[in-house]
Amino acid sequence: MKYFYIISVLVVAGLSAAPFILLDEENFAGGDDGKVVVYSTYAAKVDSLDPATCGDTTSAMIQGNIYDGLYGYDYLLRPSTVEPVLADGMPHRSPDRLVYTIKLKKGVRYAPNKCFGVGPDGRPLTREVVAEDFVLAFKRIADYHITTRLTLALIEDKIAGIQEYRDRTRAYRQGDFSRYDVVPLAGVEAVDSHTLRFTLTTPFPQFIYVLAMSSYAPIPREVLDYYLTSEPDGKGGRRAVDVSQRRAVISAGDFEAAVGTGPYRLSEFVSGGNIVLTRNEAYREEYYPSPPDLATLDERHRQSVQQAIDEGLYNDAGKRIPFIDTNYMQFIQEDTTAWGLFTAGRTDVSGIPSQMFNTAVTPTAEISGAFRAKGIRLEKYGSPAIYWLAFNVDDPLLSNKSLRQALSLSFDVDRYVDVLFNGRGRRAVNIIPSDMPEFADMPVSRYARYDPQAAMEKMKQARAELEAAGLVAPGEKIKLTLDLGGRENMQRRMGEMARYYFGRLGVDLHVELNDWPTLQEKVHNKRAQIYSMGWHSDYPDPENFLQLFYSPNIMRGTNNTNYSNKLFDQLYEQIATMDPGPERTAIYARMVEMINEDCPQLLLTEPVSFVLMHPWVRNYRPHPIGYGTFKYRRVDQELRKAAGGM
């Protein structure tokens, strides 16, 4: 019997050591081989490593560091300004504005990768980027067999030959990549190895912004031939995949296929796990931007440059980038955990969870004493995004304009921002974000304010109209449903606030908490009445927000209020081909006023983010729409070690 006890104790001890037996050491602690290493967290799973299928901000954030597009945005200039990245200079536009000719920089090479072959020393090779690679990228986006999210929608009706290409590639099997060789894409041609020509079907002033997205990065044919025609065999090698089984898209399980020209490459990728970005050894010579001559800038740009200079953001001007060798990214969804890592000095930059807000920030929105003592800095920046509660204007009740206006007036958005976001947001006054260049000329909505009195009066009017139409019985409460996307505490509280404010108007509001796919399904099938929506600008042009109300976009999905107004559509078609200028801005203003009056949405907020960073962080300035800005950041490793960080 004695043996029983000894054995059982040993067994228990052995089993208790399971974590160390089953799991590999996370080599996160380290970075002392002279390399500059940074640790960070990310909170949403990366859906896509393939530029063609990129459609969410987390994927864009990762991809932006791996892939480069033809153009990008200047890191420090605000409002956002386009600059050439892989292109050699700005595009040459034909007089009819339909043909864009772009020259490529010479000597830009991909990150070394096995798909290009292996050299005599066993190390992977690389090659220079040529125009054909861009053609392939656009062909894949137009490919029938690839389900894109945003990348096709932006160019679908704009570049010549896209629809034809789509139709013709339907005749090919998914795994038959000869369609990229044989079928031409009329609107994208490689004139020579370093010259690209785009032919548009209609003038498209925002085309330069589209080209500034890393989703239109060049794709080397070798990636398809090496990675998509084979799969890992589990023993470190690869085995061929039959044509009928091949996928057309780079999958997250085969991360080495993410071959780009960017400053970093993936050395590790686990979906919902660790992501490691490592320096691309073959990265071309790029330098930290120098401040432009202030005299050549307009007022807003000049202010942004001056501010950047004052904050020391130009101190590294002229130095070669990237500074940081490795970024270890850990998947942490709980924001208090991410916060804990930050306060322990294990990550460099962090947002502030709302419950910790008061410990970090004073009531006057300055960094709190305790944090300032540790040298932590606070940076606030706005995102060019707007969140709102959309009204389904096709719904019998909500088709009534007075009702929508009444609801709009009844909700105290400032209180909402205060209570749920600790004041980190600005009330949106119309559907154009405030940092767009044309914002100053856009009219403010009369209904984007909190006025319970006016709301009650509008409501009386609405009731009268609805009763007259027989939709509501006299004295009967108006029943509406609010669908929110997400089942977190935040959504629940928002729902309770909405019930409270709408309840004061005599509305019986039922709130449904949905997960994201269910909400989209409801909206698409027009089964939702009121639902939370938002839009983050894809490029610095108000047109990006006005297209949300263009009626053909109802089918396309971006117009999810079902708003349909013939005059608005006509104006939209007009501005779609106009270059920026006072004439266009005037029409913008008219369109914005129409939306203001018709109120297809209850405007909520423009988010403002508060970011904390440790004193050893340098050159950090979040970019509103650009991704791939990690290459500019620097950390003072000595300072970090001295302060007890990693």
Partner 1 sequence: MLIYIIRRLMWAALTIFGVMVLTFLLFRVSAGDIAGAVLGEKAAEAQKATWRHKFGYDLPWLINVHRNLLIISKVGGDKPLWAKDTGSSRARQGWSLVLDAPPGENYPPNTVLMSGYIRGLDESTSIHALGSGGPSATNEDPTGSISFGLGDGSTLDVPVDGVKTIGDLMQRINGHAANNGRLEARITSLSVAGAFNSQFFRHLKTSLLFEGESLKHSGQSLKSIIAKHGKYSLAVQIPAVAIQWFIGMILALFVAYYRGRWPDKIGVFMSVLGMCVPFLAFMIYGQALMFHLGLPQHAAGTIYRGNLYVPVAIMVIASLGGHVRFYRTIILDETGRDYVRTAQAKGLPLTTILFKHVLKNCMLPILTSLILAIPFLIMGSLLVENFFGIPGLGDRMITSINDRDEPIMNGLVFLTAVIYTAGILLTDLCYAVFDPRIRLK
Partner 2 sequence: MTMDAIQHQTSAGGAEPVAQRGASLWADARRRLARDRWAMLCLGIIAFYVLLALGGAMYEALAAPEGGIPTFEETINFDQSYRPPSLDSLRNLLGTDWAGRSVLLKTVLGAKVSLTVGLMSNLIAVPLGLMLGAAAGYFGRRTDAVIVWLYSTMASVPGIVLLIAMKYAFKNVTFLGLNLGGIHGLYIALGVTAWVGTCRYVRAEVMKVRELEYVLAARAVGRGNVMILLRHVLPNVLHLGIISFSLGVVGAITAEVTLSYLGLGVEVGMPSWGTMIDGARMELHAGRWWELASAVGAMFLLVLALNIFGDRLRDALDPRLKNV
Q: Is the bond preceding residue 396 a cis peptide, omega within 30 degrees?
A: no
Nearer CB in complex with partner 2: 27/489: 489
Instruction: Kindly tell me which residue out of 58, 101, 230, 251 binds partner 1, with binding defined by CB under 8 A.
Output: 251
Q: Which does 202 bind (CB under 5 to 8 A by kind): partner 2, partner 1, none?
A: none
489 binds, among partner 1, partner 2, none (CB under 5 to 8 A by kind): partner 2
Provide long-range contacts, Cβ within 8 A and 24+ apart, for 166-171: 166/142, 169/142, 169/143, 169/144, 169/145, 170/144
For partner 2, the binding residues in 472-491 under the rule CB under 8 A are: 487-489
The answer to whether 99 contacts partner 2 (rule: CB under 8 A) is no
Q: Which of 31, 384, 495, 626 binds partner 2 (CB under 8 A)?
A: 495
Beta bridge mates, 379: 611
Q: Is 251 exposed, middle or buried (0-12, 13-18, 19+ CB in 10 A)?
A: middle
**Count of residues in the chain:** 646
Is residue 337 close enough to count as binding partner 1 by CB under 8 A?
yes
Identify which range of 201-209, 282-290, 428-436, 512-520 contacts partner 2 by CB under 8 A.
512-520
User: Does residue 209 contact residue 80 with C-beta atoms inside 8 Å?
Assistant: no
Q: Using the rule CB under 8 A, which residue among 34, 107, 236, 517 binds partner 1?
A: 517
Q: Which of 329, 352, 327 is nearest to 339 (CA)?
A: 352
> Would you say 510 or 590 has its CB closer to partner 2?
510
DSSP string for 549-577: G-TTHHHHTS--S----HHHHHHHHHHTT
First-to-last CA distance in the chain?
50
Residue 213 and residue 134 in contact, taking contact as beta carbons nearer than 8 Å: no
Among 114, 127, 221, 492, binds partner 2 (CB under 8 A): 492
* Closest to partner 1 by CB, 463 or 640: 640
Q: How many residues sit close enough to partner 1 to count as binding (CB under 8 A)?
A: 58
- Are 236 and 258 in contact, with CB atoms under 8 Å apart? no
In the list partner 2, partner 1, none, the entry touching 500 (Cβ below 5 to 8 angstroms by class) is partner 2
Integer Cα distance of 406 and 599 in angstroms: 10
- The residues in 306-345 that bind partner 2, with binding defined as CB under 8 A, are 336
Quote the least distance from Cβ 555 to partner 2, whole Å: 24
Nearest approach, Cβ of residue 18 and partner 2 (Å): 21
Q: Which two tokens stand for residue 563?
A: 């708003």
Q: How many residues bind partner 2 (CB under 8 A)?
A: 29
Residue 23 binds which one of partner 2, partner 1, none, with CB within 5 to 8 A depending on kind?
Answer: partner 1
Which of partner 1, partner 2, none does residue 570 bind to, with CB < 5 to 8 Å depending on kind? none
* Closest CB 419 distance from partner 1, rounded Å: 22
Burial category of 135 from C-beta neighbours within 10 Å (exposed 0-12, middle 13-18, buried 19 and up): buried
The site map against partner 1 for 402-441 (x = CB under 8 A) is: ----------------------------------------
Interface residue with partner 1 among 332, 456, 608, 611 (CB under 8 A) is: 332
422: left (phi over 0), alpha (psi -120 to 50) or beta: left
- Hey, which residues between 381 and 420 contact partner 2 (CB under 8 A)? 415, 418-419
Report d(CA 190, CA 329) in Å as an integer: 37
Backbone angles phi, psi at 556, to 5 degrees: -70, -20
The item of partner 1, partner 2, none sharing an interface with residue 495, based on CB under 5 to 8 Å by kind, is partner 2
CB atoms inside a 10 Å sphere around CB 529: 21
Residue number, 255 or 568, with CB nearest to partner 1: 255
585 interacts with partner 2 by CB under 8 A: no
Opening angle at CA 377, ends 373 and 381, nearest 5: 155
Q: Which residues bind partner 2 (CB under 8 A)?
A: 336, 353-359, 415, 418-419, 487-489, 492-493, 495-497, 499-500, 503, 506, 510-514, 518
